[in-house]
Amino acid sequence: MAVVVNPGLDRSGPSCDIVQLAAVSGHHTLNLFMVPRCQMEPGASRITGFRVRRHRLFLHRRPVLTNSLKEALVSFITFLRMFGRPLLVGHNIRRFDCLVLARVLDEFGLKAAFQAGILGFLDSLPLTRQLLKDSGVHSFKQENLVKTLLGVSYAAHDALGDVQALQKLYWALRPTASQIQQHTFSLDSLCSKCSKDSITRVIIKSKKNVVLFPLELLLNKEH
């Protein structure tokens, strides 16, 4: 997902809103857009290509079809149910992305339905640091990992391109079950340790498939 963040404000609060939600599992994809309910800062527009004009959303100056946030969340829950109860895996998701997701699920009364359809979350940032600790990799930003390990570049601020690249990265890493277990958590445990620090992207892994959905900040960050 792409999230609009107004600099200097609470990044887990109503100053953030979701603009794009994309998910992928193998060849199955979900890609939805929403008009953000908060004002989009010019810096965010320059980085991502998203702009709002007269209550319409544009991506690189082209209008895109949009859904309401509630419709997108319901579609996301339905998409996840196709894969049983997947484990949602994300790159540095604990401190921001999952907090935004939990807030909007609560807002529309969908948190229980969402949690019933998943096993939990996996943060791939500490996972990759563990797996690659002796590899000589110094930057664990997703873009750098994809370029270093896979030799490709991708559209880092497009949610669909982000998840497709992250799926390939996850498959290349091939973590074991015990390594995965070390970095899993639930929404409830996360919300009991709320933090305002920022975070970037999310992957989702099911028992048999890998599903990815990024929560992408509209800000430049280092990890």
> Which stretch of 36-40, 160-164, 204-208 has the lowest confidence by average pLDDT?
204-208
Spatial distance between the Cα atoms of 176 and 192, rounded to a whole number of angstroms: 28
Q: Which two tokens stand for residue 172?
A: 């290349």
> pLDDT band at 21, cuts 50/70/90?
confident
Q: What is the per-residue pLDDT for 22? A: 82
> pLDDT band at 41, cuts 50/70/90?
confident
Question: What pLDDT, in 10s, does the model give residues 89-146?
Answer: 778 778 777 888 888 999 999 999 999 988 888 888 899 999 999 999 999 998 999 9
CATH class (in words) of the domain with range 2-217: alpha beta
Q: Domain ranges for the chain, please list them.
A: 2-217
Q: What is the per-residue pLDDT for 13? A: 53
- Nearest alpha carbon to residue 8 among 46, 45, 48, 41: 41
Across the chain, what does the average pLDDT equal? 78
Highest-scoring range by mean pLDDT, 31-40, 58-67, 76-85, 194-203? 58-67
CB-based contact 77:110 (threshold 8 Å): yes
Percent of the chain whose pLDDT exceeds 70 = 78
147 vs 119: which has the higher pLDDT: 147
Q: What is the per-residue pLDDT for 197? A: 32
